[in-house]
Amino acid sequence: MKNRRPIILAVTFGILLTAGAVMAQEPSAENDSMTLKGDEESTVLKSLTIEGEDRIQIEFDRPALELAIDGYDIAGLTWGQTMDVVQRREVDLLTPMVETSRHGRPAALARPWLNQFRDGSVARFRPALEGVEKWKLTIADSRGDTVQVFSGKGSLPDVIEWDGVYDTGGLAVPGLTYSYVLEAGDKAGNRRNFVGPGFEVAPYRIEHEGSFHMVMSGGSLLGPGAATRPAGADDPWLLEAASWLNQYAATDQPIDIQVSARNHEMAEAMGKIVEEQLARHLAGAAIRMRVTTNASSDAPASGVVMIGVQG
């Protein structure tokens, strides 16, 4: 049998093995291994022939991997103190906003200083009666239909407030005349009725059952006030209405506009004015406005505009 001698090679870069009848390079007697030095260029094992059951054992010498990582020395991870965070300067958001205002103001602005629409109750009643055991306050519209009833037992409250909502869910209309009757009874069973003077409600805004509404008279749109306004000037009520809508509603929320007058021509003319002027000051697309006109013989003489946004 042939003498089997393992050949041990220490390699760093690469080894070329070729099969053939070429005889393997014999190692010297002084060194039984063939070594390729990784730190010298052009050190190549030209060919190697394996015959019979001869085997080759290749050993790789690899240097130890040492990673010099110290969190205290890495840039950007410098350790600080608590006061470095507490005294950190806040981001200045005001200066860039003021800077952009030099280039003109957008039309869709909130104007919180406009406050013509009444907020809260549209009417307050202050009964001054004593010795009352049971009472009822009835509010009726110009047709005599009951729109809201307040009642109670015992002494009357100092103030009875009406928010403008009918018991059917409708809203009070500026320009219509309302009346009220107070019925009071004492412990002996005596009853007396007190009829109050007629009254009208001013334009108002109200949040009711998750919705937001503004109700105004149409007198400023087609009345004498509109004729004396400078050309191109917007109606002050509609300007405030747009301001409230920009504060309350999202830019994609539908806006429901209902215009009522005593004839179709007047209702259509008012609806057109409302749509055109609101479109100039509303944030978002004007297509989200839905204008509905209605002609009714019992509408106020100056007409009425109701603007609503569902919550």
* Tens-digit pLDDT profile for residues 265-292: 999 999 999 999 999 999 888 899 999 9
Cα–Cα distance measured from residue 202 to residue 308, given in angstroms and rounded to the nearest whole number: 17
131-148: average pLDDT: 93
Single out the residue of 115, 107, 301, 282 nearest to residue 203, CA to CA: 115
What pLDDT sits at residue 249? 86
Residues in the chain: 311
The full set of domain ranges for the chain reads 1-67, 123-195, 204-310
Give me the residues paired with residue 119 across strands: 205
What is the C-alpha radius of gyration for the chain, rounded to an integer number of angstroms? 46
Q: Identify the sign of the CA torsion 242, 244, 245, 246.
A: positive
CA 287 to chain centre: 19
Enter the DSSP assignment of 171: B
Q: Are 305 and 294 in contact (CB under 8 A)?
A: no
What pLDDT sits at residue 12? 36
Q: What CATH code is assigned to 123-195?
A: 2.60.40.4070
Single out the residue of 291, 252, 292, 261 nearest to residue 275, CA to CA: 291
Cβ count within 10 A of residue 307: 25
Q: In the Cβ-directed half-sphere of 56, how many Cα atoms lie within 13 Å?
A: 12
Amino acid letter for position 195: V
What pLDDT sits at residue 161? 95
Cα–Cα distance measured from residue 135 to residue 154, given in angstroms and rounded to the nearest whole number: 8
Name the pTM for this structure: 0.63
Cα–Cα distance measured from residue 70 to residue 223, given in angstroms and rounded to the nearest whole number: 81
Phi, psi of 9, deg, nearest 5: -120, 130
Cα–Cα distance measured from residue 99 to residue 52, given in angstroms and rounded to the nearest whole number: 88
Lowest mean pLDDT among 18-27, 111-120, 219-228, 284-293: 18-27
Please list the alpha-helical segments (H only) found in 196-263: 219-222, 224-227, 236-248
Exposed / middle / buried, residue 237 (Cβ in 10 Å: 0-12, 13-18, 19+) = buried
Exposed / middle / buried, residue 44 (Cβ in 10 Å: 0-12, 13-18, 19+) = exposed
* Helix (H/G/I), strand (E/B), else coil: 274: helix
Q: Whose structure tokens read 């030095």? A: 37
Q: Which helix (DSSP H) or strand (DSSP E) does residue 33 occupy?
A: none
* 236 or 22, greater pLDDT: 236
Cα–Cα distance measured from residue 262 to residue 264, given in angstroms and rounded to the nearest whole number: 7
* 44 pLDDT tier (thresholds 50, 70, 90): low
182-208: average pLDDT: 92
Cα–Cα distance measured from residue 181 to residue 139, given in angstroms and rounded to the nearest whole number: 7
Q: Identify the sign of the CA torsion 73, 79, 84, 88.
A: positive
User: Which tens digits make up the pLDDT trace of 224-269?
Assistant: 777 777 877 889 999 999 999 998 888 889 999 999 999 999 999 9
Q: 28 vs 20, 45, 199, 210, 289, CA distance in Å?
A: 22, 15, 125, 99, 99
Q: What CATH code is assigned to 204-310?
A: 3.30.1330.60
> 123-195 and 204-310 share one CATH topology?
no
22-51: average pLDDT: 53
